Structure 1
């Protein structure tokens, strides 16, 4: 009889866990949200810390990577479902990279909008305020431990009163409860993940999965900026099947969108993060520096559609130049292994920064951006030791734990000359190391 009871309880626990190992789609309630933004002449990352409960204060850290002239940054958060709103501001000091904290408040979970304003620009970012729920396996384990404690007290009381039969029954209950508790703990990786409070509802199983890629329209205003003048780069995204604006981008490597702008010869390079000015519309202000043709590459991820890269181009001034600028690295020079890379084979690229204590930027210790000579190809990989997988947390910007060596692995698609840039954060400031790589077709 006793063995049958234990077997039945074990089967019940296994039934709860039958969903098998799975990873929750989307963000968990314990994960910070990051939005890199190029706004008001500054390159910042707005970090919204995870909420343990709601209503509660909401900590937001503004990480100034390129503060430029500095200035005031206004933050406001409001609930899309009609809840309250909260606002605050922080002043970034000119030429002082670092973290600038501000406290907001939320009174409910669910979809929100975070408004960021600086230098006359305004960005409205979609944000879901989530609070973690206790997972099922933990409820089972705690309930079993509580039952074991009650049964143990009963067993001791019966033993004192010399009621052996009842004491034995309570002792058996203690054993069964402990078996259930520890079994739930062992099987915890196989329990179905618990959706956090405030998360959007899961689509029905028979719903059509996947969405089409966004269709881009990239332009600059004015359409032919002159060297030394400021211009605005605008990217509008549409759904090809409906014609409506694509307004369901999700956080992808700490930003809604990443944009790389290079001149044809490679001497002009910008890695920026446009602000969301309207549904499906992203803009960034840049300064033109040289005449000629420029390439635009934008990376983003649409919900339920995966990552996507789109391209565009524009011309500064009236003269186009297709010559390739030979980029020489300043300071430490990256080292490739093998010394002469071969197309289609992995290449290790190593940079000795000379600094033991680099901070992550965009969730990684370093970024390697590679462009072919003709501009038709752009690749982007991350530093190997800081790659985040599975349930690992994205590294915090305030923790300087990387370096001095940064290592990347990259495979060049074709032989030829490639322009490359390595970027990393030192004392919160972004460092860019440009150089060229010649890739052969045989060892």
Structure 2
């Protein structure tokens, strides 16, 4: 019985790391300066101990030294450096954490910095496990006591007293074990509650949830890029504030492998899918080179703790500088070559419409936890003002092509696994007639391939 209790105890649950269970990887995409990185916290397990970090670089990223720093409560506990090479791929490092609780992983390449919040989980013993353990131990003690009384005391009927205690203890233990499957877990720190050291180490001690924890308001998005000119590197600041209080929003969750998915669309239809880095509460930064002057559409997709997934949009003006040639109006279905990769796009009209991209080989890599991404914006009125139209378009959708599940594997595979495709299917229902801009994205050889398309939806008809 005692061994059964120990088995229950050793299989105890753990707190969660931003909604990811212990034993799974945590992946966070970061646009750090001119680098597109994916930071992978390997197999988030129980602290204290080492934290294995992989830094995944992409094609075109410059080599250099990246400093990693693990800190909690504003104090740095450990730091290390990783040398990023010219060849894209994963570069490993190791930092140490000394206790469960909220932590931050700092990134510093000598020019730009970032801070990624994460949670070091704790071994948590649920109350029902404690009841089961205590019941079996008490039953064992009562059993031994009853045997001693029966063998050594002249009045063996006294052994009925510890026998009754043993039965009661077994009832408690068995009841706890039977109720374990139906007992709801407490609110998860990090995913449902603002994480603290106390509620991570013992989430059952403060299981009551405030009435506002699931009713936080939408965020306000402000994009500031002073001095942004076409042809020059723009330093863009993204400010997130609470819609009710105006205070900085610092409760974003890792949603589809990023804190913020920022989509930027230029006046002639170029698209960037970026992931701004956090430099402070509600303060995010990213850099990119706008190729043309005019109005850019900016949309931020994020998940707020207690506020769900949100999509907020705004515009960003870019002054005239050195413009690149205008982006041509993209084709519809058919074959094309994107960065040396032949892609054949098939569009099957209907409700929903099926859009399928076919690549040459089954060696695609997961990007942001998905096989592919499809961004749909429209209706668009003019080919020379796509950015302004996109900012006000009634439809702005982000569709995913999912990765086949791998039984027994916690979490999702990362970009080091090049074993998917060659087809990347999407389904989407267009809600209104008009001209739509569509961008399909997938990753191959650590290069994100973006396939632009234009689809015409006639009134009551099929896509053209």
Determine if the TM-score, normalized by the shorter chain, exceeds 0.5: yes
* Mean CA deviation greater in 253-262 or 26-35: 26-35
Partner of 2:401: 383
1:222–1:138 distance in 2 versus 1, CA, 3 Å: same
- TM-score in terms of structure 1 length: 0.76
Distance across 2 between alignment mates of 1:135 and 1:264: 55
Q: How far apart, in 2, do the equivalents of 1:378 and 1:117 lie? A: 34
Alpha-carbon separation, structure 1, partners of 2:173 and 2:183: 14
Shift in alpha-carbon separation, 1:83–1:285, aligned structure 2, 3 A: closer
- The answer to whether the 8 Å contact 2:46/2:120 transfers is no
Name the structure 1 match of 2:55. 62
Q: Which residue of 2 aligns with 1:366?
A: 372
Query: 1:286 offset after TM fit, Å?
Result: 0.5
Does 1:218 find its partner at 2:223?
yes
The Cα shift of 1:148 comes to 10
Note if contact 1:148-1:178 (Cα within 8 Å) is conserved in structure 2: no
Indicate whether 1:33 and 2:36 are aligned: no
Corresponding residue for 2:278? 276
Shift, 1:428, TM fit: 3.1
Select which of 82, 99, 116 maps to 1:108.
99
Q: Which residue of the partner structure matches residue 346 of structure 1?
A: 352
2:118 aligns with 127
Q: Assess, with a 3 A threshold, how the Cα gap between structure 1 residues 52 and 237 changes in structure 2: closer, same or farther.
A: closer
Q: Which runs of 5+ in 2 are unaligned?
A: 1-14, 146-158, 190-195, 381-388
305, 308, 317: which one pairs with 1:314? 317
Does the 8 Å contact 2:72/2:102 carry over to 1? yes
Q: 2:343 is paired with a residue of what secondary structure?
A: coil
The whole-number CA distance in structure 2 between the counterparts of 1:108 and 1:402 is 38
Find 1:207's aligned residue among 211, 214, 218: 211
Conserved in 2, the CA contact under 8 Å of 1:145 and 1:178? no
Shift of 1:272: 0.6
What's the secondary structure of 1:68's corresponding residue? coil
SS at 2:344 equivalent: coil
Aligned positions of 1:39-188 closer than 5 A: 39-80=32-73, 85-94=77-86, 96-118=87-109, 120-135=111-126, 188=180
Provide the residue aligned with 1:305 in structure 2. 307
Instruction: Tell whether the 8 Å contact from 1:340 to 1:438 is kept in structure 2 after alignment.
Output: no
Q: Distance in 1 between matches of 2:52 and 2:330?
A: 45
TM-score by length of 2: 0.73
Residues 384 and 127 from structure 1, CA distance in 2 versus in 1: closer, same or farther, beyond 3 angstroms?
closer
Change in 2 beyond 3 A, CA 1:316/1:148? farther
SS at 1:356's partner residue?
coil
Note if 1:325 corresponds to 2:329.
Answer: yes
Structure 2 residue matching 1:334: 3-state secondary structure: strand
Q: Distance in 2 between matches of 1:107 and 1:75?
A: 16
Aligned to 2:291: 289
1:322-379 Cα offsets, whole Å, 9 max, x none, are 998234642222212xx345xxx32222122232243221111211111222312321
Asked whether the equivalents of residues 45 and 63 of structure 1 are also in contact (C-alpha less than 8 Å), the reply is yes
Question: In structure 1, what is the Cα distance between the partners aligned to 2:171 and 2:363?
Answer: 46
Once the two structures are overlaid, the 10-residue window that deviates more, 361-370 or 26-35, is 26-35
Cα distance in 1 for partners of 2:272, 2:108 equals 22
Matched position secondary structure for 2:253 = coil
- Residue of structure 1 in register with 2:386 after alignment: none
Tell me the distance in 2 between the aligned counterparts of 1:107 and 1:72. Answer: 25
CA contact (8 A) 1:259 1:274 kept: yes
Q: Indicate if the aligned counterparts of 1:384 and 1:409 stay in contact, CA closer than 8 A.
A: no
CA shift, 1:205, in A, is 4.1
Whether contact under 8 Å (1:219, 1:314) holds in the other structure is: no
Question: How many Å separate the matches in 2 of 1:352 and 1:142?
Answer: 56
Q: How far, CA to CA, are the matches of 2:327 and 2:113 in structure 1?
A: 38
Q: Give, in whole Å, the separation in 2 of the partners of 1:144 and 1:354.
A: 62
For structure 1, list consecutive stretches of 5 or more residues without a partner in the other structure: 1-22, 155-165
* Structure 1 match to 2:254: 251
* Structure 2 equivalent of residue 438 of structure 1: 456
Equivalent residue pairs, number: 405
Rounded to whole Å, the distance in 2 between the matches of 1:437 and 1:119 is 44
Change (3 A) 1:340 1:142: same
Kept in 2, the 8 Å contact 1:365–1:424? The answer is yes
Report the CA distance between 1:413 and its aligned residue. Answer: 2.2
Partner in structure 1 of residue 346 of structure 2: 335
Separation of aligned partners in 2, 1:49 and 1:67: 25
Match of 2:148 in 1: none
Kept after mapping to 1: 8 A contact 2:45/2:120: no
For the 8 Å contact 1:421–1:435, the answer to whether it is kept is yes
1:241 is aligned to: 244
The RMSD of aligned alpha carbons is 4.1
